Structure 1
Amino acid sequence: MIDLHVLPFFLATVLIMVAIPGPTTIYISTTSASQGFRFGLASCFGVMLATLVHVSFAAAGLTALLLASPWLFSAIKLLGAGYLVYLGVKVIRSKPPASGTTAAPQSQSRALGETIKKGFLVNLLNPKTGLFIAAFLPQFVTPSLGHVPLQIVTLGLLLVLVGGVSDTTYAALARTVGRALANRSKKPGIGKYIAGLLYMGLGVAALATSNGTSK
């Protein structure tokens, strides 16, 4: 059980934080704008699953390993940045679907599953997410109530829920903007180059940042 007197302050803080787009929000929005709202939702779901893993690590105290081991932090950050750059190159090199063709249900389901996996890995391989959660959630824990790990998990679930609503909203807006730009663009397929460059930019930005705590 969490302290209900603290809950309004926690939710207000989370609402302010999720309103400011971070790397994962940009990733979700880019995916939605370039591939469609369903794919944006799929990437959002993957990100949420990874956040739950980070919350579990924080509750179990495993995130402390990142704080105690700079080389482990750097290794995970390098993997995450490299994965984003890889996704960017893959998107740029991909062939756009032929005009007027519709993907088979099985093929589309597989593609959505791949998108969920990508969103999961992008967030899981971002050590700053784990450090942020480990630093933020305990600020709203009341030790006198006991069951500290359970309090962290409960607060983490609320964080994931609010973040999911925010990311879904961003995905919907991004899809609307992406469709409008695609209709105005005289160069078909330019969206994949924009998306690919954004992914690579996120990877370079992640590699350049230090051990901060941001979403």
Structure 2
Amino acid sequence: MFGIHDLTLFIVSGLLLNILPGPDSLLIMTRSATQGWRAGSAAALGIATGTLVHILAAALGLSALLATSATAFTVVKWVGAAYIVYVGIGLLRSRRGQPAEVATPALPALPYRKIYFQGMLTNVLNPKVALFFLAFVPQFINADAPSKPLAFIILGCIFNFNGTLWCHALALFTAFASTRLKLKPLLALWLNRATGGLFLALGLRLALSEQH
């Protein structure tokens, strides 16, 4: 439907990506640990808004690219597959003690509105988010999809919805723990490797099979 394929694989990959520690997770954990779960949820909503900005911007950019060249979408998919393989190799090479560990430094209390905008800016100003969307999402859109930008937006919204659920769960868990939360290095290491293996397999699968 809508020219989308391998939706289950997309959802699983997206969830693993959201679980990986990063700036967004750090902000949510910090705000939850210092101001409670409502502050963490405010940051999560801001991050979701920032992700939506990336989704719409990438879909509009993809639409303009397709209007320029009929073969551009295939090129985007091949370049994206190469980038996914690169990300997968980087995750597989993670070592124990590298920055997989996430700590929550203390921050001054802020109104929820400011925390929301802080979360949005943290996400919007991260160029890696935009790059990943452009590389990742087109892999699950058929070349003959009736509307590729629409399919991109649908997949992006699914990714964002699942990610927001995870972010709220992280906020609640961090506040419930009521202590500074650290992801154990060994667990983070194997999480990185599991995700890296999935991305590497996905990239190779795309490279060795016919593009949809």
TM-score (norm 2): 0.60
Greater helix content: 1
Structure 2 residue matching 1:146: 3-state secondary structure: coil
Q: What corresponds to 2:55 in structure 1?
A: 55
Q: What corresponds to 1:164 in structure 2?
A: 164
Amino acid at match of 1:31: R
Once the two structures are overlaid, the 10-residue window that deviates more, 147-156 or 12-21, is 12-21
Q: What corresponds to 2:38 in structure 1?
A: 38
Q: Which runs of 5+ in 2 are unaligned?
A: 65-104, 181-212
How big is each residue's C-alpha offset from its partner over 1:172-201, in whole Å with a ceiling of 9 and x where there is no partner?
Answer: 111122x246xxxxxxxxxxxxxxxxxxxx
Distance 1:149 1:3 in 2: 11
Count residues with an aligned counterpart: 142
Distance 1:140 1:55 in 2: 15
Distance 1:32 1:51 in 2: 20
Amino acid at match of 1:19: I
Distance 2:26 2:179 in 1: 18
Q: What corresponds to 2:196 in structure 1?
A: none
Q: What corresponds to 2:18 in structure 1?
A: 18
How big is each residue's C-alpha offset from its partner over 1:138-181, in whole Å with a ceiling of 9 and x where there is no partner?
Answer: 1111121220000100000000011011111111111122x246
Q: What corresponds to 2:7 in structure 1?
A: 7
Dislocated runs of 4+, deviation >4 Å: none
Q: Which runs of 5+ in 1 are unaligned?
A: 65-87, 97-109, 182-215
Q: What corresponds to 1:99 in structure 2?
A: none
Q: Is 1:125 aligned to 2:133, yes or no?
A: no
Query: Cα 1:45–1:158, aligned 2, differ >3 Å: closer, same or farther?
Result: same
**Mapping of 1:175-190 within 5 angstroms?**
175-177=175-177, 179-180=178-179
Distance 1:9 1:3 in 2: 15
Please provide the CA RMSD for this pair. Answer: 2.8
- Sequence identity (%): 34
Structure 1 residue matching 2:159: 3-state secondary structure: helix
TM-score (norm 1): 0.59
Distance 1:13 1:119 in 2: 23
